[in-house]
Amino acid sequence: MKPLVAITGKGGTGKSTLAALLVQALAASGVRPVLAVDADPNACLGELLGVEVPGTLAELREEARKKGDRNPGVSLVSQIDLGLNEIVSEGEGFDLLTMGLPEGPGCYCYINALLRDWLKKAARNYAICVVDNQAGMEHVSRLVTAAVDTLVVVAEPTAPAAKAVRRIMELSRSLPMTVARRIVVWNKVRGEGVAAGLREIADEESADGAICLAWDERLAAAYTQGRKVTLEGEGSVEFEELVKICRPSGGPGAGIGQGEDHADTRHA
């Protein structure tokens, strides 16, 4: 499995916006192609990346199941494999796969299994994979079989959010999965004094790093209006540090050496 970045956090913290910016920044820095996965039932990564989503994995599953009823000679897995490339959105230096809604209330088991198997097959065609997850860690542990190179926990600068960070960090250590780096990203921060206190909380949780991103009115407006989010100029120093951490050329668990040329061989 190629390097994998898993982004998690409570809803409304800005994790999908951060995922979209990170995917674009990695591709722009030469780490391409990037595989972006929208694994949040409240899917919006396509809008934030500015690409059309022709379909979701959940929809493909339902369509294949209906066809299977009419053509029992073809397995469900085979039908889904044939249709996967048709629902992958292509962007500048990245592809996007959207999971969509589960087939039942809170049930993602079959969709997780499909995506997990597809990731194994498709990984060889990508330099890195960035997964925008739903809240919590259980979903990540069911989705990912290989090690997570960088777990990015996104939180707002509030006391309840700090408690959520503690829970996610504790859970990430208790689940049967390997995480090389745990980075806490405090989003929508106003004031350096606040930032200093937030970094202390991350230190207490033994995070491998803490990054504070300032409130950005431009990004907030783009998200509210369902528009593509983009970095202004080179972005903040703190965001550039996050990109550096997530790049596959450095740190434990990296699967690609610095300066390696990544041919854009998607869907090969």
pLDDT for residue 253: 36
Which residue is it, tokens 């209006």?
Answer: 225
Mean pLDDT (whole number) for 186-196: 74
262 belongs to a structural domain: no
Domain assignment present for residue 192? The answer is: yes
Confidence of residue 235 (pLDDT cuts 50, 70, 90): confident
Q: Do 245 and 237 touch, CB atoms closer than 8 A?
A: no
pLDDT band at 157 (very low <50, low <70, confident <90, very high): confident
Indicate if the pLDDT at residue 101 is higher than 80: no
Residue 254 lies in a domain: no
Task: Kindly list the distances between the CA atom of residue 252 and the CA atoms of 3, 25, 103, 201, 244, in Å, as whole numbers in the listed order.
Answer: 10, 21, 36, 23, 13
Give dist(CA 61, CA 1) in Å, integer.
24
For CA atoms 103, 109, 111, 114, the dihedral sign is negative
Confidence (pLDDT) at 104: 54
Higher pLDDT, 45 or 134: 45
In degrees to the nearest 10, what's the CA dihedral of 106, 165, 8, 236? 150
- The predicted structure's pLDDT at residue 108: 60
CA atoms within 13 A on the CB side of 150: 30
Cα distances (angstroms) measured from residue 12 to each of 55, 85, 106, 109, 153: 24, 30, 19, 24, 13
111 against 185, higher pLDDT: 185
pLDDT at 178 (0 to 100): 85
The domain total for the chain is 1
Report pLDDT for 146.
57
Phi, psi for 261 (deg, rounded to 5): -85, 125
Dihedral angle at the C-alpha atoms of 176, 178, 183, 188, nearest 10 degrees? -40
**How many residues appear in the chain?**
268
Which pLDDT value is given to residue 136?
Answer: 63
Considering only 72-81, 189-198, 258-267, which range has the smallest mean pLDDT?
258-267
Q: How confident is the model at residue 138 (pLDDT cuts 50, 70, 90)?
A: low
Would residue 260 count as lying in a domain? no
CATH of the domain at 199: 3.40.50.300
C-alpha–C-alpha distance, residues 189 and 153, integer Å: 15
Span 53-69, mean pLDDT? 79
Residue with tokens 């039908």: 79
DSSP 43-84: --HHHHHT------HHHHHHHHHHHHHH-TTS-HHHHHHHHH
Mean pLDDT of the chain: 79
**Does residue 251 lie within any of the structural domains?**
no
pLDDT bin (cut points 50, 70, 90) of residue 89 is very high
Domain that holds residue 187: 4-246
Check pLDDT > 70 for residue 208. yes
